[in-house]
Structure 1
Amino acid sequence: MKTRITEMLGTKYPIIQGGMMWVGRAELVAAVSNAGAFGIITALTQPTPEHLVKEIERTRTLTDKPFGVNLTILPSAKPPPYEAYLDAILDNGIKVIETAGNNPKEFIAKAKARGVKIIHKCTAVRHALSAERNGVDAVSIDGMECAGHPGEDQIGCLVLFAIAAKKLKIPLVASGGIADGRTMAAALAMGIDGINMGTRFCVTKEAPIHDKIKQLLVDKSERDTLLIFRTLHNTGRVLKTSVSEEVVATENRPGGCEFKDIQHLVSGAKGREALESGDESKGLIWAGQTVGLIDDIPTCAELIDKMVRECRELLSAARDKVN
Structure 2
Amino acid sequence: MIRTRVTDLLDIQYPIIQGGMQWLACAEFAAAVSNAGGLGVISAAMHPSKEDLLEEIRKTRELTSMPFGVNISMLPTVGPGDMTPKYVEAVIEAKVPVVETAGRSPKDFIGDLKQAGVKIIHKVPSVRFAKKAAEIGVDMVTVVGFECGGHPGLDDVPTALIVNKASRAVDIPVLAGGGIVDGRGLLSALSLGAEGVVLGTRFVATQECTAHPAFKEWVVNAQETDTIIIERSIRNPMRAMKNRAAYQVLGMETHGATLKQLLAIISGKVGKKALFEGDIENSTFAIGQAVGLINEIETVEDVVKGIISEAEDLYRYRLAAVFG
Interval containing the TM-score (normalised by the shorter chain): over 0.9
| Separation (CA, whole Å) in 2 of partners of 1:176 and 1:279 | 25
5 Å matches for 1:11-50? 11-50=12-51
266-275 or 280-289, which moves further after superposition? 280-289
Q: Does 1:293 align with 2:293?
A: yes
Please name the residue that 1:185 is paired with.
187
Change over 3 Å in CA distance of 1:283–1:78 after alignment to 2: farther
Ranges in structure 1 where 5+ consecutive residues have no aligned partner: none
Deviation of the 1:319 alpha carbon: 3.2
Deviation digits for residues 235-291 of structure 1, max 9, x if unmatched? 1111111111111121123xx222223221111011111110011134111101011
Please name the residue that 2:271 is paired with.
271
Change over 3 Å in CA distance of 1:119–1:104 after alignment to 2: closer
Please name the residue that 2:100 is paired with.
98
5 Å matches for 1:190-269? 190-253=192-255, 256-269=256-269
Please name the residue that 1:150 is paired with.
152
- Helix, strand or coil: the match of 1:231? helix
Please name the residue that 2:72 is paired with.
71
Contact 2:244–2:282, Cα closer than 8 Å, also in 1: no
Deviation digits for residues 185-220 of structure 1, max 9, x if unmatched? 110111210000011111110011111111111111
Please name the residue that 2:168 is paired with.
166
- Helix, strand or coil: the match of 2:130? helix
- Helix, strand or coil: the match of 2:71? strand
Contact 1:27–1:208, Cα closer than 8 Å, also in 2: no
Q: Does 1:123 align with 2:125?
A: yes
Contact 1:184–1:311, Cα closer than 8 Å, also in 2: yes
- Helix, strand or coil: the match of 2:234? coil
Please name the residue that 1:280 is paired with.
280
Residue identity in the other structure for 1:269:
K
Please name the residue that 1:314 is paired with.
314
Please name the residue that 1:304 is paired with.
304
Please name the residue that 1:8 is paired with.
9
Residue identity in the other structure for 1:243:
A
Deviation of the 1:115 alpha carbon: 1.2
Paired residues, number: 321
Deviation of the 1:311 alpha carbon: 0.9
| Separation (CA, whole Å) in 2 of partners of 1:41 and 1:155 | 27
44-53 or 75-84, which moves further after superposition? 75-84
Deviation of the 1:72 alpha carbon: 0.9
Change over 3 Å in CA distance of 1:30–1:73 after alignment to 2: same
- Helix, strand or coil: the match of 1:147? coil
Deviation digits for residues 21-69 of structure 1, max 9, x if unmatched? 1011011101100001110010111121111111011011111111010
| Separation (CA, whole Å) in 2 of partners of 1:104 and 1:158 | 26
Residue identity in the other structure for 2:273:
E
Contact 1:148–1:238, Cα closer than 8 Å, also in 2: yes
- Helix, strand or coil: the match of 1:70? strand
After TM superposition, what 4+ stretches of structure 1 lie above 3 angstroms from structure 2? none
Residue identity in the other structure for 1:39:
G
Residue identity in the other structure for 1:10:
D
| Separation (CA, whole Å) in 1 of partners of 2:122 and 2:262 | 30
Deviation of the 1:80 alpha carbon: 2.9
Deviation of the 1:320 alpha carbon: 2.5
Residue identity in the other structure for 1:134:
I
Residue identity in the other structure for 1:7:
D
- Helix, strand or coil: the match of 2:190? helix
| Separation (CA, whole Å) in 2 of partners of 1:292 and 1:172 | 25
Deviation of the 1:78 alpha carbon: 5.2
| Separation (CA, whole Å) in 2 of partners of 1:282 and 1:233 | 22
Residue identity in the other structure for 2:227:
T
Deviation digits for residues 101-159 of structure 1, max 9, x if unmatched? 11232201110111111000000000000000000000000000001111001100111
| Separation (CA, whole Å) in 1 of partners of 2:35 and 2:19 | 16
Percent identical? 40
Contact 1:175–1:197, Cα closer than 8 Å, also in 2: yes
- Helix, strand or coil: the match of 1:179? coil
